[in-house]
Chains A and B, each alone.
Chain A
Amino acid sequence: MASSKSVKKASQKAGTKKAVKAPAAAKTVKTKKKNVGKAVVKPSAKRASAARGAPKKAVSGKAKPAAAAKPEKAKAAKKKAVAIVKPAAKIASDEKKSAPRKIAAKAVKKVATQAETQKAKAHRTKSQRLRMQRVKATRGKAVRPSPASRAVKPRKAAKPAAKPPVEVEKPAGGATAAPEARIGARRIGEPRPELVAEPQPYIDHGPLLPDSYGGNRLAALARDPSRIYAYWEIEGLDKLAAKAARWALRIITGSGESYDVEIDPAARNWYMPAKGAETYDVRIGYFDAEGGFHIIAAAKRMRTPRGHRVPRTRAQWVDALAAEPGRPIPLVSESPYAMPSPQFRRMQARMRRALPIGYGITSFGKRAKN
Chain B
Amino acid sequence: MNAEKGCLAIVLHAHLPFVRHPEHDEFLEEDWLFEGITETYLPLLARQEELVREGVRYRLTMSLTPPLCEMLADPLLQGRYLRYLDKRIDLMKHEVEAKKNSPFEDAARMYRDILGRSRELFHDRWGDNILNGFRELQGTGSLEIMTCAATHGFLPLMLTPEAVRAQIEIGCRNYEKHFGRRPRGFWLPECAYAPGLDEQLARAGIKFLIVDTHGILLADPEPVYGVHAPIVCPSGIAAFGRDYESSKQVWSSEEGYPGEAVYREFYRDLGYDADYAYIKPYLHADGVRRNLGIKYHRVTGKVELHEKHPYVPSWAREKASLHADDFVANRRRQAEWLAGSLGRTPVVLSPYDAELYGHWWFEGPDFLADVFRKLHYNQREVTPVTPAEYIERFRVNQVATPAGSSWGDKGYYEVWLNGTNDWIYRHLHAAEERMVALATKHRDERDDVKLRALKQMARELVLAQSSDWAFIMTVGGARPYATRRTNLHLDRFRVIADQIESGAPDEGYLSGVEGLDTIFQEIDHRLYAREA
Footprint of B on A, CB under 8 Å?
1-5, 7-8, 12-13, 16, 19-20, 59-60, 62-70, 73, 76-77, 80-81, 84, 171-177, 179, 194, 197-210, 213, 217, 219, 221-225, 227, 229, 231, 233, 269, 277, 300, 303-313, 315-329, 331-332, 335-341, 343-344, 348, 351-352, 354-370
A202: which B residues are within 8 A, CB to CB?
286
Interface pair A358/B284, CB less than 8 Å apart:
no
Interface pair A310/B494, CB less than 8 Å apart:
no
Interface pair B305/A8, CB less than 8 Å apart:
yes
A323: which B residues are within 8 A, CB to CB?
202, 232, 235-237
Q: What is the bound-complex CA distance between A300 and B28, given in angstroms?
A: 40
B487 within 8 A of partner (CB): yes
Counting from the closest, the 3 A-B pairs by CB-CB distance are A356-B411, A323-B236, A69-B306
Q: Which of B252-283 touch A at CB < 8 Å?
A: 252-254, 258-261, 263, 265-269, 272-273, 275-277
Interface pair A310/B219, CB less than 8 Å apart:
yes
**Min CB–CB distance B95 → chain A (angstroms):** 16
Contact (A303, B248) CB under 8 Å given A173-B21, A309-B217: no
Interface hub of B156, B286, B355 (most chain A Cβ within 10 A): B286
B259: which A residues are within 8 A, CB to CB?
1-2
Interface hub of B247, B288, B412 (most chain A Cβ within 10 A): B412
Interface pair A206/B487, CB less than 8 Å apart:
yes
B338's nearest neighbour on chain A, judged by CB, is A344
Interface pair B213/A357, CB less than 8 Å apart:
yes
A71's nearest neighbour on chain B, judged by CB, is B306
B437 within 8 A of partner (CB): no
Contact of A194 among B195, B276, B423, B478 (CB under 8 A): B276
Interface pair B405/A305, CB less than 8 Å apart:
yes
Q: What is the bound-complex CA distance between A307 and B215, given in angstroms?
A: 9
**Min CB–CB distance A202 → chain B (angstroms):** 7
Interface pair B276/A206, CB less than 8 Å apart:
no
Contact with A along B280-307 (1 / 0, CB 8 A): 0000111111000000000110111111
Q: What is the bound-complex CA distance between A355 and B212, given in angstroms?
A: 10
Select the stretch in B115-123, B165-173, B424-432 that faces chain A: B424-432
Interface pair A229/B422, CB less than 8 Å apart:
yes
B222's nearest neighbour on chain A, judged by CB, is A312
B179 within 8 A of partner (CB): no
A213: which B residues are within 8 A, CB to CB?
426, 430
Select the stretch in B48-56, B322-330, B365-373, B467-475 that faces chain A: B467-475
Interface pair B491/A320, CB less than 8 Å apart:
no
Contact (A308, B217) CB under 8 Å given A1-B253, A316-B399, A321-B392: no
Q: Which of B354-400 touch A at CB < 8 Å?
A: 355-356, 359-360, 391-392, 395-399
A171: which B residues are within 8 A, CB to CB?
21, 23-24, 27, 484, 488
Select the stretch in B341-349, B438-446, B450-458 that faces chain A: B341-349
B418 within 8 A of partner (CB): yes
A214's nearest neighbour on chain B, judged by CB, is B430
Q: What is the bound-complex CA distance between A341 and B200, given in angstroms?
A: 36
Interface pair B217/A352, CB less than 8 Å apart:
yes
A12: which B residues are within 8 A, CB to CB?
476-477
Interface pair A366/B477, CB less than 8 Å apart:
yes
Contact of A172 among B203, B308, B481 (CB under 8 A): B481
Interface pair A355/B399, CB less than 8 Å apart:
no
A356: which B residues are within 8 A, CB to CB?
212-214, 405, 410-412
A340: which B residues are within 8 A, CB to CB?
224-226, 341-343
Q: What is the bound-complex CA distance between A2 and B430, given in angstroms?
A: 42
Interface pair B396/A320, CB less than 8 Å apart:
yes
Task: Contacts A171-B23, A317-B398 known; list 13 others, CB within 8 Å.
Answer: A59-B302, A60-B303, A65-B305, A175-B25, A225-B412, A312-B222, A320-B395, A323-B235, A340-B343, A344-B341, A348-B217, A357-B248, A362-B355
Contact with A along B68-79 (1 / 0, CB 8 A): 000000000000
Interface hub of A201, A318, A321, A339 (most chain B Cβ within 10 A): A318
A175: which B residues are within 8 A, CB to CB?
21, 24-28, 284-286
Question: 29 A-B pairs, CB-CB below 8 angstroms?
Answer: A1-B258, A1-B259, A1-B302, A2-B302, A4-B300, A8-B305, A16-B476, A16-B479, A70-B306, A73-B275, A171-B27, A174-B284, A198-B276, A209-B427, A213-B430, A222-B156, A224-B410, A224-B413, A307-B412, A318-B399, A321-B392, A323-B236, A329-B236, A336-B396, A340-B343, A344-B226, A355-B217, A362-B360, A365-B32
Interface pair A229/B417, CB less than 8 Å apart:
yes
A7: which B residues are within 8 A, CB to CB?
267, 304-305
**Min CB–CB distance A262 → chain B (angstroms):** 20
Contact of A359 among B207, B247, B265 (CB under 8 A): B247
Contact of A66 among B159, B237, B268, B488 (CB under 8 A): B268
Interface pair A306/B217, CB less than 8 Å apart:
no
Q: Which of B173-226 touch A at CB < 8 Å?
A: 190, 194-195, 202-203, 205, 207, 212-214, 217-222, 224-226
Interface hub of A202, A315, A319, A365 (most chain B Cβ within 10 A): A365
Q: What is the bound-complex CA distance between A80 and B279, given in angstroms?
A: 13
B214: which A residues are within 8 A, CB to CB?
352, 355-357
Interface pair A326/B203, CB less than 8 Å apart:
yes
B410: which A residues are within 8 A, CB to CB?
224, 356, 358
Interface pair B289/A198, CB less than 8 Å apart:
yes
B430: which A residues are within 8 A, CB to CB?
213, 217
B265: which A residues are within 8 A, CB to CB?
1, 4
Contact (A62, B304) CB under 8 Å given A1-B258, A305-B405: yes
B36: which A residues are within 8 A, CB to CB?
364
**Min CB–CB distance B409 → chain A (angstroms):** 5
**Min CB–CB distance B347 → chain A (angstroms):** 13
B139 within 8 A of partner (CB): no
B35 within 8 A of partner (CB): yes
Contact of B236 among A172, A303, A324, A364 (CB under 8 A): A324
Contact (A359, B248) CB under 8 Å given A69-B305, A221-B425: yes
B391: which A residues are within 8 A, CB to CB?
320-321
Interface pair B472/A363, CB less than 8 Å apart:
yes
B527 within 8 A of partner (CB): no
Contact of B213 among A320, A344, A351, A364 (CB under 8 A): A351
A176: which B residues are within 8 A, CB to CB?
24
Interface pair B213/A81, CB less than 8 Å apart:
no
Interface pair A315/B355, CB less than 8 Å apart:
no
A208's nearest neighbour on chain B, judged by CB, is B487
Interface pair A315/B224, CB less than 8 Å apart:
yes
A311: which B residues are within 8 A, CB to CB?
221-222
**Min CB–CB distance A276 → chain B (angstroms):** 9
B429's nearest neighbour on chain A, judged by CB, is A219
Contact (A320, B397) CB under 8 Å given A175-B24, A206-B483: yes
A339: which B residues are within 8 A, CB to CB?
224, 343
B405: which A residues are within 8 A, CB to CB?
305, 356
**Min CB–CB distance A21 → chain B (angstroms):** 11
Q: What is the bound-complex CA distance between A217 and B429, given in angstroms?
A: 11
A76: which B residues are within 8 A, CB to CB?
275
Interface pair B236/A269, CB less than 8 Å apart:
no
B25: which A residues are within 8 A, CB to CB?
175
Interface pair B360/A20, CB less than 8 Å apart:
no
Contact of A310 among B21, B203, B218, B237 (CB under 8 A): B218
Q: What is the bound-complex CA distance between A332 and B398, given in angstroms?
A: 10
Interface pair A223/B480, CB less than 8 Å apart:
no
B36's nearest neighbour on chain A, judged by CB, is A364
Contact (A306, B221) CB under 8 Å given A179-B286, A340-B341, A355-B213: no
Contact of A306 among B235, B253, B403, B475 (CB under 8 A): B403
Q: What is the bound-complex CA distance between A73 and B279, given in angstroms?
A: 14
B238 within 8 A of partner (CB): yes
A73: which B residues are within 8 A, CB to CB?
275
B490 within 8 A of partner (CB): yes
Interface pair A352/B23, CB less than 8 Å apart:
no
**Min CB–CB distance A131 → chain B (angstroms):** 16
B11 within 8 A of partner (CB): no
